Chain A
């Protein structure tokens, strides 16, 4: 059983209570907007943000952006020292003490979520951790707790998927018949239902397979490539040595005659 968050974009009023609650819970510092930030409002000090897009009727629609906590996270697969890992409860956690700052996780994330402490001399990777301490204690994350409209709710993934499909079925005119995060990149623990397309959250929205599988073939063939190249080289060396020896004997014989 893994926990998840469901965000219903149609219910969000953009009040930013979740953003403020997140800052308070995770003791995030003050944030000076810098040019190295993307315009999505996420930064090392902002682990969730509210985006504004025009809705179907032109009125503003608010979309909360945060780490998607993929079921098979690309970041955790990419990290050379395993500083990122998927916990059995669901959140993808980051370990300050292991990280060496290569930023491969930031390159590998299909949602472009992890942020970096660019202005720090001792920088770390920063992203939403679904308030792991709360979740482990049986409580819910600060953001879902703070939401006044129940636009973002917390529960088990199965429960929330069923709820998402129930809402879509109950109001087919309002929602687009799609649960974002159900299948994308192998499924995510943060799900969305919406009346506008949320494909812009991902670099490539039609990516169905999980990303760790893309490198697994190459990584599995490493021992074979290693031993294989050694074998080929030794074999070549043996053959050529023998041929040169035979040629040498041959010329020697010719020399005797």
Chain B
């Protein structure tokens, strides 16, 4: 296995995994595959794939501006890789948008329905136009491989200069408009990042990043093929990046100073630490590295410097794209493994296309060849494949397809079997008459619910042994099993009070005035209460407490196991009144504050039926 084979196999594996996830995303919806919520509707796919993807494609317009506009002819070896990277970056953005958009088949609406007030409208148009321009800019390269398309190529070459110019103009708009996207959220974005000049900051940083992205990509692809990178050119780009990044730093800090936000940097919040880290990684350290001639010309200095800028810029886009909004929205978000694998998969596929283009077309002056692998792996029947793709492509193919198929299979295995996979059901709001038997379970939180008869369930499911069937001690926060565990049709609309049934001749057959008093508005609020007729609904002496979002059933279950006997004893021996009081067991409120002697007694074997397995009786710290 040589380096090319290892890298390509890993990439193919990642592509396979993401393909399986992409299928489940469309089969089950966004909720099942992502960790996105109503408060965090944009996640990794926007913050990384779209925001950072566009930023990483900045190399294309920066290098073409240097080469064609500023006529720096020495950068010629970098033009083709840079344009190719930009094109693939934009294709990656389009791919991830197709996964992220809720209704991707409506993407063409952007062309028909216009809203020029929206920065996203500008972003959309820039993506469409610039991707097309990049395709036209790059297409002469594959066309030159055969003479058959020479005429088309010549025709395209005539428009090279205007196309490049248009590409630079569109990039200017697009890089800055990604910053404009967040101008509408002054209430959400952390003040250290929110500024009116966000579009300008995005543009300047994109220029700096573009320079370094081209360098980094040259270093990485050269490493894969074991060739010498264009170190003298990278050093020149590094020198330019020092200037651009310094301008970025000055603008960033002057803007913060004018807005009076400099103090926030030292406020010690996690955002301020994030800011310091971002500035150091993205600008300060690379500026120092590339300002010193010795590190600028050394391979290690170039690797570290360009990596830091690329990493720091991705970091910056993710920060603006949502990370620094979390403290405002009060929501936590971390991408699910499926979101991560889609992101990695798209990037991997673009890298594979890049490597393919490097091998097949005249991207570099010295075209690398994938080393021959085991000749037995070459399918004997595939004459066509060899003619069209060449022998080396066939040789490596067995390994890649193996990695691809295995990863695809793993992806399908891990695929969520249910829509609820990454989004569990919340606690069902339950109200109960304390000490009473009927629980009021409001599954859909609309105020109407199901009357749940606890004793009936105990009797039906096997008396004292039945508790564990619903009150699983291993569920977090002592949650009880939802009704749907047994009643899969639980979420049918049930109106606890059937009004129609009450006044129907076939039902209770009572008149209006029996519940709605004369001289009152006929509303639910002024009507006679249920327990006026159904006297057994709430047991005498019970007080109703409304515990929204918390199921009180567990407390009731625990109490029933003890209080029942205590009451029986009091009924027979009235002088033992004290053992029925709360203070008989509890030192203060809460189950964890059981009196020490009660706690000790519960450890005895005759109380095994009271204490369920897994309950700790040790004193809480």
Q: Mark A135-171, 1 if CB is under 8 A from B, else 0.
A: 0000000000000110000000000000000000000
A30-B493, A38-B39, A233-B165 in contact; A218/B70 too (CB < 8 A)?
no
Query: Which single member of B116, B122, B173, B447 contacts A19 (CB below 8 Å)?
Result: B447
Question: Is A178 positioned at the interface, with any CB of B under 8 Å from its CB?
Answer: no
A81-B109, A149-B525 in contact; A116/B549 too (CB < 8 A)?
no
Q: Are B524 and A33 in contact (CB under 8 A)?
A: no
Q: Are A222 and B31 in contact (CB under 8 A)?
A: no
Question: Is A26 positioned at the interface, with any CB of B under 8 Å from its CB?
Answer: no
A19-B446, A212-B117 in contact; A203/B328 too (CB < 8 A)?
yes
Question: Is A236 positioned at the interface, with any CB of B under 8 Å from its CB?
Answer: yes
Instruction: Considering the complex, give the chain B residue whose CB is closest to the CB of A202.
Output: B187
Residues on A with C-beta less than 8 A from B491 are 30, 32
Residues on A with C-beta less than 8 A from B28 are 121
Query: Which single member of B106, B123, B172, B493 contacts A100 (CB below 8 Å)?
Result: B106
A7 to B65, CA, bound (A): 58
Q: Which residues of B (271-319) have their CB < 8 Å from a CB of A?
A: none
Residues on B with C-beta less than 8 A from A197 are none
A101-B104, A112-B329, A214-B186 in contact; A31/B118 too (CB < 8 A)?
no
Residues on A with C-beta less than 8 A from B176 are 218, 225
Instruction: Considering the complex, give the chain A residue whose CB is closest to the CB of B198.
Output: A218
A19-B446, A46-B446, A81-B113 in contact; A230/B165 too (CB < 8 A)?
yes
Residues on A with C-beta less than 8 A from B180 are 215, 218-219
Residues on A with C-beta less than 8 A from B548 are 52
Instruction: Considering the complex, give the chain B residue whose CB is closest to the CB of A122.
Output: B103
Q: Mark B500-525, 1 if CB is under 8 A from A, else 0.
A: 00000000000000000000010111
Q: Mark B431-464, 1 if CB is under 8 A from A, else 0.
A: 0000000000001111110000000000000000
Q: Are B31 and A34 in contact (CB under 8 A)?
A: yes
Q: Are B196 and A217 in contact (CB under 8 A)?
A: yes
Q: Mark B72-107, 1 if CB is under 8 A from A, else 0.
A: 000000000000000000000000000001111011
A217 to B119, CA, bound (A): 11
Distance to closest chain A CB from B487 (angstroms): 13
A116-B102, A230-B165 in contact; A222/B38 too (CB < 8 A)?
no
Question: Is A237 positioned at the interface, with any CB of B under 8 Å from its CB?
Answer: yes
A32 to B112, CA, bound (A): 36
Query: Which single member of B109, B122, B426 contacts A98 (CB below 8 Å)?
Result: B109
A74 to B188, CA, bound (A): 13
Q: Mark A60-73, 1 if CB is under 8 A from B, else 0.
A: 00000000000000
A149 to B109, CA, bound (A): 45
Residues on A with C-beta less than 8 A from B361 are none
Residues on A with C-beta less than 8 A from B38 are 36-38, 42-43, 106, 112, 114-116, 118
Question: Is B121 positioned at the interface, with any CB of A under 8 Å from its CB?
Answer: yes
A217 to B199, CA, bound (A): 11
A33-B426, A104-B181 in contact; A121/B29 too (CB < 8 A)?
yes
Question: Is B183 positioned at the interface, with any CB of A under 8 Å from its CB?
Answer: yes
Residues on A with C-beta less than 8 A from B102 are 99-103, 116-117, 122-124
Residues on A with C-beta less than 8 A from B172 are 225-226, 229
Interface-side segment among B236-244, B417-425, B589-597: B417-425
Query: Which single member of B37, B186, B188, B521 contacts A35 (CB below 8 Å)?
Result: B37
B contacts, CB < 8 Å to A:
26-32, 36-39, 41-42, 65, 68-71, 101-104, 106-107, 109-110, 112-124, 165, 168-170, 172-173, 176-177, 180-181, 183-188, 196, 199, 328-329, 331, 419-420, 423-428, 443-448, 491-493, 521, 523-525, 548-549
Q: What are 12 residue pairs bridging A and B, where the CB atoms are less than 8 Å apart in the complex?
A: A32-B443, A32-B491, A33-B444, A43-B38, A78-B118, A80-B115, A83-B113, A101-B103, A104-B120, A115-B38, A233-B169, A240-B70
